[in-house]
Amino acid sequence: MSPAGAWGKPWMSSSAIVNDTLSMSSSAIVADTASGYHLLTIHGYSRTKGIPTGEFVRSSAFTICGHRWSIDYYPNGARAAVADYVSLSLNLDEDVLDAVKAQYDFCIAGEAEEPENVAALASAPVERFPSRTASLHAMFVKRERLERSRHLMDDSFTIRCDIVVVHSYRGGVAFVSVPPCRGRCSRRCSILCTTRAHCRSRGRKMKHVGQQYVELMPRVHTTNG
């Protein structure tokens, strides 16, 4: 048999807490970014199809978000496994002390505002670009699809490259005051009460802990027969 408490039966502390006010907080992590885009036009597309798989033509360098970039154009894919595709790579053409963190996305100009392309940039992973490194988009577009596209005009098409550079991350916190519970307590006082008297009026036994009150609950035990 369990030992008797002060009221003739054992007691224990429950997790119900009574306060006059309850505050909760919300927070956010915000990325400090800069963004821009570059347009690369491929003139004489049909002639570039003679470039072997794995070989590329590099664009002129351009500056976006304070960094120097270029694009490699592989008309017959960057490797044999993607020989039916146009491949592209984004290159960081400068030396940097710390790797540049950036998101990027390629699309055919004219499709940039289509929902799937807007979503693609938003969901693109943040990649690290140390000095003079590249990120490959091996399957940019299948040549068969490109050649049927309305964007291939006069044997030319334009590629749009969007870049978002992430400079830093910062956090913040906001406190929101939440009104205390004004309704009836549950059977085991599992919700927050407004005052000690609120529970006393319902026959609860309370214990003062610091600046809070916790309810004392009967200990549940069984006796093996």
CA–CA dist 109, 219 (Å, integer) = 71
Same domain, 157 and 194: no
Residue with the larger pLDDT of the pair 60 and 222 = 60
| DSSP-based three-state secondary structure for 182 | coil
Range of the domain at 197: 11-21+180-218
Same domain, 43 and 146: yes
Give φ, ψ of 144 to 5 degrees: -60, -40
Token pair 């054992």: residue = 10
User: Is residue 136 pLDDT above 80, yes or no?
Assistant: yes
Same domain, 147 and 199: no
Same domain, 55 and 148: yes
Same domain, 41 and 91: yes
> How does pLDDT run across 3-62, given as a tens digit for each residue?
444 444 444 444 444 455 556 666 777 778 899 999 999 999 999 999 999 999 999 999
User: Is residue 176 pLDDT above 80, yes or no?
Assistant: no
pLDDT at 207: 44
**Domains in the chain, number:** 2
Contact between 155 and 45 (Cβ < 8 Å): yes
pLDDT at 25: 66
Same domain, 85 and 59: yes
Residue with the larger pLDDT of the pair 73 and 22 = 73
Is the torsion defined by CA of 137, 143, 148, 152 positive or negative?
positive
Instruction: Provide the pLDDT confidence category of residue 216 given band limits of 50, 70 and 90.
Output: very low
CA–CA dist 40, 54 (Å, integer) = 20
Same domain, 59 and 132: yes
User: Is residue 71 pLDDT above 60, yes or no?
Assistant: yes
User: Is residue 192 pLDDT above 90, yes or no?
Assistant: no
Same domain, 75 and 186: no
User: Is residue 93 pLDDT above 90, yes or no?
Assistant: yes
Residue with the larger pLDDT of the pair 114 and 41 = 41
Residue with the larger pLDDT of the pair 206 and 130 = 130
Domain containing residue 128: CATH number: 2.60.210.10
Same domain, 135 and 40: yes
Cα separation values, 147 from 141, 154, 208, Å:
10, 11, 78
